[in-house]
């Protein structure tokens, strides 16, 4: 769902810049009026414009929304007013940039702005789901419960991310050592033996010739490796920017054995968890699907949910609308349908999200358990091939 920027007048008559979501400009204006604001001028789409300044991006990246929620939740549950709670958090924050962000929120409350609007104005400092859930909490009078739910959600997401990162440290070390050993073999060890063989002027066996050619390419073709490294860096940058390169990678990554299943499971688990959180806080279903779709990292998977909103407007229930996506697991759809029949959609989505997050952890463990011996086996094969080629050359010379 696009993000529109408006110049609007609040209840006090003062003009202010506001960011608000909507399927279209007319829909965003309707949402703006529903918040008690009078639109004065539409300043266009703001979703990308708020991220153009690299200095602002650096500033935003330093703010930890999970840590902020972890501090705010117990204060609100202790019935401390929001403005005072923000002041306590600001006073207890060591990082100057984070303190300034909290103080910005506090100043906005002094000016009479809604907390959800202030969070939305922060852009990338908070996840997409944050402002919408806070707005639902404000409207229902359950802001402390919503912040506590956000705290759990962000903490679980961080734990999952840290689990995947921690689990990949040892395989990364093994891969680095393997790469280093192979480089030493073909740039130091094999060239020294090649000079001995060439000086003797004797014909060499085919395996030895292949190893010598690989060594010559590794040593003499250093500029090729530089070009390949530069090309790889350029490709990664283009993929991160999106566009055709990003779409190509999203399609290709899903076809890679093992990794494709892992990427699919990761996106679906994140999508289901966001659906569970938003549904449990009684956010409008159309907004729920729109927000949850934006947490999908793979554009191919996200595109498969593009028609869900129109199906929901047409009267379809959530399970039927989600079934249009080929990436939605059948068991998840069946459990969601049961939740709709029993009137416990939020609870059923939570159980499904728990199941797929556990499944994701299991897939990560299996992938890493296969990766480590595969890398070690590959290194052993390379070393064995080098040793055999040298041994065959020595045997050939002895026979002569």
What pLDDT does residue 45 have? 66
In this structure, the answer to whether residues 29 and 97 fall within a common structural domain is: no
Rounded to an integer, the average pLDDT of 359-388 is 82
In this structure, the answer to whether residues 110 and 23 fall within a common structural domain is: no
> Which of 10, 6, 9, 8 lies closest to 112 in space, CA to CA?
10
In the three-class reduction of DSSP (H, G, I as helix; E, B as strand; rest coil), residue 95 is classed as: coil
What pLDDT does residue 88 have? 92
| Residues sharing a CB contact under 8 Å with residue 355, sequence separation 6 or more, in sequence order | none
Location of structure tokens 């199906």? 311
In this structure, the answer to whether residues 67 and 37 fall within a common structural domain is: no
In the three-class reduction of DSSP (H, G, I as helix; E, B as strand; rest coil), residue 361 is classed as: helix
In this structure, the answer to whether residues 294 and 400 fall within a common structural domain is: yes
pTM of the model: 0.63
pLDDT-based confidence at 200, cuts 50/70/90?
low
In this structure, the answer to whether residues 232 and 106 fall within a common structural domain is: no
Distance from C-alpha of 232 to C-alpha of 227, rounded to nearest angstrom: 8
With respect to residue 327, please indicate whether it lies within any of the assigned structural domains: yes
Task: Identify the DSSP state of 189.
Answer: I
Angle between helices 143-167 and 259-280 (to 10 degrees): 170
In this structure, the answer to whether residues 351 and 313 fall within a common structural domain is: yes
In this structure, the answer to whether residues 48 and 67 fall within a common structural domain is: no
> Which of 339, 338, 385, 287 lies closest to 23 in space, CA to CA?
287
Backbone torsion region of residue 218, taken as left when φ is above 0, otherwise alpha when ψ lies between -120 and 50, otherwise beta: alpha
> 104 and 118 in contact (C-beta within 8 Å)?
yes
> 388 and 184 in contact (C-beta within 8 Å)?
no
With respect to residue 358, please indicate whether it lies within any of the assigned structural domains: yes
303 pLDDT higher than 60: yes
In the three-class reduction of DSSP (H, G, I as helix; E, B as strand; rest coil), residue 314 is classed as: coil
With respect to residue 57, please indicate whether it lies within any of the assigned structural domains: no
In this structure, the answer to whether residues 231 and 85 fall within a common structural domain is: no
Mean of pLDDT over the chain: 79
DSSP string, 7-34: EEE-TTS-EEEEEEE-SSHHHHHHHHHH
Q: Rg for the chain (alpha carbons), in Å? A: 28
In this structure, the answer to whether residues 225 and 181 fall within a common structural domain is: yes
315 pLDDT higher than 70: yes
With respect to residue 190, please indicate whether it lies within any of the assigned structural domains: yes
pLDDT-based confidence at 60, cuts 50/70/90?
very low
- CA angle at residue 272 from 310 to 298, to 5 degrees? 75
With respect to residue 154, please indicate whether it lies within any of the assigned structural domains: no
Rounded to an integer, the average pLDDT of 215-238 is 82
Q: How far lies 116's CA from each of 20, 119, 136, 253, in Å?
A: 10, 5, 9, 36
Distance from C-alpha of 94 to C-alpha of 185, rounded to nearest angstrom: 49
With respect to residue 211, please indicate whether it lies within any of the assigned structural domains: yes
> Which of 130, 89, 131, 91 lies closest to 114 in space, CA to CA?
131
> 235 and 252 in contact (C-beta within 8 Å)?
no
pLDDT-based confidence at 51, cuts 50/70/90?
very low
**What size, in residues, is the chain?**
400
In this structure, the answer to whether residues 94 and 218 fall within a common structural domain is: no
| Residues sharing a CB contact under 8 Å with residue 150, sequence separation 6 or more, in sequence order | 69, 73, 129, 130, 133, 134, 277
> 157 and 273 in contact (C-beta within 8 Å)?
yes
- Per residue in 127-170, pLDDT tens? 877 887 787 778 777 788 888 888 887 887 788 778 778 877 88
With respect to residue 155, please indicate whether it lies within any of the assigned structural domains: no
Distance from C-alpha of 133 to C-alpha of 48, rounded to nearest angstrom: 22
With respect to residue 158, please indicate whether it lies within any of the assigned structural domains: no
In this structure, the answer to whether residues 334 and 196 fall within a common structural domain is: yes
- Per residue in 233-259, pLDDT tens? 988 888 877 778 888 888 888 888 878
In this structure, the answer to whether residues 219 and 350 fall within a common structural domain is: yes
Looking at the structure of the chain, the number of domains it has is 3
> 349 and 275 in contact (C-beta within 8 Å)?
yes
Query: In the structure encoding, which two tokens stand for residue 192, read together?
Result: 């020294």
Of 29, 52, 75, the residue that ends a domain is 52
> 348 and 289 in contact (C-beta within 8 Å)?
no
Per the structure, the complete domain to which residue 386 belongs is given by: 168-400
CATH number at residue 80: 1.20.81.30
Q: How far apart are the first and last CA of the chain?
A: 77
Backbone torsion region of residue 283, taken as left when φ is above 0, otherwise alpha when ψ lies between -120 and 50, otherwise beta: beta
- Per residue in 268-302, pLDDT tens? 888 888 888 778 777 778 878 887 887 788 888 88
């Amino acid at each position: 769902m696009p993000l529109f920027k408006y110049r609007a007048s609040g209840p006090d008559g003062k003009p202010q810049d506001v960011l608000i979501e909507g399927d279209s400009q007319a829909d965003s204006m309707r949402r703006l009026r529903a918040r008690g604001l009078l639109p004065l001028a539409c300043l266009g789409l703001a979703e990308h414009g708020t991220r153009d300044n690299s200095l602002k991006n650096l500033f935003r990246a330093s703010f930890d929304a999970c840590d902020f929620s972890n501090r705010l939740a117990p204060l609100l549950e202790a019935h401390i007013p929001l403005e005072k709670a923000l002041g306590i958090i600001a006073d207890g924050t060591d990082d100057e940039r984070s303190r300034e962000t909290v103080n910005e929120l506090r100043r906005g409350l002094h000016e009479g702005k809604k907390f959800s609007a202030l969070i939305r104005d922060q852009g990338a400092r908070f996840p997409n789901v944050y402002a919408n859930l806070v707005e639902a909490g404000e409207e229902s009078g359950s802001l402390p419960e919503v912040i506590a739910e956000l705290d759990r959600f962000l903490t679980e997401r961080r734990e999952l991310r840290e689990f995947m990162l921690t689990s990949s440290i040892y395989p990364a070390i093994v891969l680095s050592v393997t790469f280093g050993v192979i480089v030493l073999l073909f740039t130091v060890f094999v060239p020294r033996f090649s000079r001995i063989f060439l000086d003797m002027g004797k014909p060499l066996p085919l395996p030895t010739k292949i190893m010598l050619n690989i060594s010559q390419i590794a040593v003499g073709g250093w500029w090729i490796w530089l070009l390949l490294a530069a090309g790889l860096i350029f490709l990664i940058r283009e993929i991160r920017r999106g566009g055709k390169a990003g779409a190509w990678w999203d399609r290709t990554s899903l076809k890679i054995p093992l990794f494709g299943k892992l990427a699919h499971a990761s996106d679906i688990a994140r999508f289901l968890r966001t659906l569970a959180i938003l549904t449990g806080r009684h956010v409008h279903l159309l907004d729920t699907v729109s927000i949850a779709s934006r947490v999908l990292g793979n554009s191919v998977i996200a595109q498969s949910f593009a028609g869900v909103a129109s199906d929901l407007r047409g009267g379809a229930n959530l399970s039927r609308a989600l079934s249009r996506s080929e990436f939605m697991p059948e068991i998840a759809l069946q459990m969601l349908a049961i939740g709709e029949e029993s009137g416990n959609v939020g609870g059923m989505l939570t159980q499904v999200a728990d199941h797929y997050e556990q499944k994701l952890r299991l897939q990560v463990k299996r992938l890493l358990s296969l990766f480590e011996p595969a890398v070690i086996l590959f290194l052993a094969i390379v070393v064995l091939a080098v040793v055999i080629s040298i041994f065959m050359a020595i045997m050939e010379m002895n026979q002569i």
